[in-house]
Amino acid sequence: METRYSISNQRKRLFQYIEDFYGTEPEYLWAKYPTYAVFRHSASRKWFAAVMELSRDKPGLPGGGCVDILNVKCDSVLIGSLLAEAGFFPAYHMNKNTWISVLLDETVPDERIFPLLEWSFDSVAPKRKRKNENNCAQKAERN
């Protein structure tokens, strides 16, 4: 992969938004890929976003150089319609049925990305435990 010395402005804004809105900071897990970052839900510790720097040919873009992409979990029905829009690609290195890649080169406006982050964040939140169904019956018996 080609080395790049500047990080995209959209990536910087996205990282700041995630820190401000979700209270989580990027984790850099791979020494071999120092620009790859993941964001985890603070309660479940599951990833809700991953940012990677890829050569332009990986998502099928023309030209040389590198681009930043964002991977987010996404509703499978929505993935189909997003793939028809500029700046969206099948998820890179993730399950293509439940994740999507977003180009971070200003093709997709921040305002379009933020709701996808919210959906992804919510989708990895811990599931609420159901109250014991017997509690309802027990309460009814006491009344």
Residues 97-115 pLDDT 10s: 789 999 999 999 999 999 9
Reported confidence tier of residue 143, pLDDT bands at 50, 70, 90: very low
Q: Are strands 66-73 and 88-90 parallel, antiparallel or unpaired?
A: unpaired
Task: Taking the CA atoms of 76, 30, 9 and 104 in sequence, report the sign of the dihedral they define.
Answer: negative
Decide: 89 and 60 in contact? Cβ < 8 Å. yes
Cβ-proximal residues to 65 (8 Å cutoff; 6+ apart), any chain: 2, 4, 55, 56
Percentage of the chain surpassing pLDDT 70?
A: 85
Global confidence as pTM: 0.81
pLDDT mean across residues, the chain: 85
Closest by alpha carbon to 95, among 29, 142, 50? 50
- pLDDT beyond 50 at 1: no
Per-residue pLDDT, 131:
52
Average pLDDT score over residue span 77-103:
89
